[in-house]
Amino acid sequence: MPVVNFKEYNEMLDAANKGKYAYPAINVSNMETANAALLGFAEAKSDGIIQVSTGGGQHASGSYVKDMVLGAITLAEHVRRMADRYPVRIALHTDHCQPGKVDSFMKPLIAETAKRRAAGLPNLFNSHMFDGSELSLEENMKIAKELMVLCAANEIILEVEAGVVGGEEDGHDTSNTPADKLYTTPEDMLGVYDALNGLGGRYMFAATFGNVHGVYKPGNVKLKPTILKDGQDALKKKYNARFDLVFHGGSGSTQEEIFETLDYGVVKMNVDTDTQYAFSRPVTDHIFKNYDGLLKIDGEVGNKKAYDPRAYLKLGEKGMAQRIKEACDNLRSTGKTLHKA
């Protein structure tokens, strides 16, 4: 079906909250990874979120152009065209825009959506993430409020973050963050609600509870999911409200920890590091098994069937799709598509 509209996206989030499941949010950077995401969701019969980071957008525009906005637009348009052929709901999202890139990435994409809407066309992206976690909560929310108004006016859902997800992703390194900053307090969570409630529209909140970007063995990441419960309890007590929560940095989390976060209101979980590996692993296998055919050595001509990029990229697509199906199982979204045939 077509990429969702605002009403359909809200239905997705409401269903996840009510059913205590979450949508994998899959980072893509080219047509192959975008197709893998669509394939994985379709085979899992799960709705899902496909997202583009600043680095992913820049990569998609090519090493000569290096334009993160143009690349993001190109990927979004590809997904929009292809999603029509898949029997699941797909939402388009942008990931981790730090304050220094708001004017050069997020605002131009919002403006592109506004231009499309004025022409009677659907939104380009359904949601955007502002990552102001490097700022004080006051500074973070000052920018978030401005973006919330822009997003609400264009039926775009905003994602915000308070607290810091450790590790490194897409060139943004928070490895040296003090431990206490890796945990969002109930006071911070109430501060986010106070700042954004009443501005119209809808937002998701990436609260941090020890999660770390990157890949780690199970048990190496010290999560405290009860932080999410504490924040939700404080919000319910004071305002009788509930957050749509987002889980970042989930690699290395146990299944029990993931299930616990779903009970506390997580409706979206970013999946990137694991899908990168799942794409690259079968490509590496192909290269090792067909090494002689991939290279023209000692005057030989190689094997075109081995070095044709389509030969190994389709293997990467299938490998990544399989990992996405696992993510749907882990997040309980398998078989729960809202799409009506």
CA 283 to the chain's CA centroid:
23
Phi, then psi, of 41 in degrees rounded to 5:
-65, -40
Q: Would you call 95 a catalytic residue per the annotation?
A: yes
CB distance 21 to 332 below 8 Å: yes
List, in order, residues 6 or more apart from 221 with CB less than 8 Å away. Answer: 210, 211, 212, 249, 251, 252, 253
Q: Identify the burial level of 107 via C-beta atoms within 10 angstroms of its C-beta, where 0-12 means exposed, 13-18 middle and 19 or more buried.
A: middle
Q: Rounded to an integer, what distance in angstroms lies between the CA atom of residue 59 and that of residue 65?
A: 9
Give the burial string for 121-136 (b: 16+ CB within 10 Å, else e): eebbbbbbbbbbbbbe
Beta bridge partners of 163: none
Specify the 3-state DSSP secondary structure of 271: strand
**Distant-in-sequence, close-in-space partners of 25: CB < 8 Å, separation ≥ 6:** 48, 49, 50, 51, 93, 95, 246, 268, 269, 270, 271
How far, in Å, CA of 269 to CA of 22, rounded? 7
Contact 167, 135 (CB under 8 A): no
From the candidates 14, 67, 95, 194, which is the catalytic residue? Answer: 95
Q: Which two tokens stand for residue 293?
A: 């055919």
Active-site positions read: 95
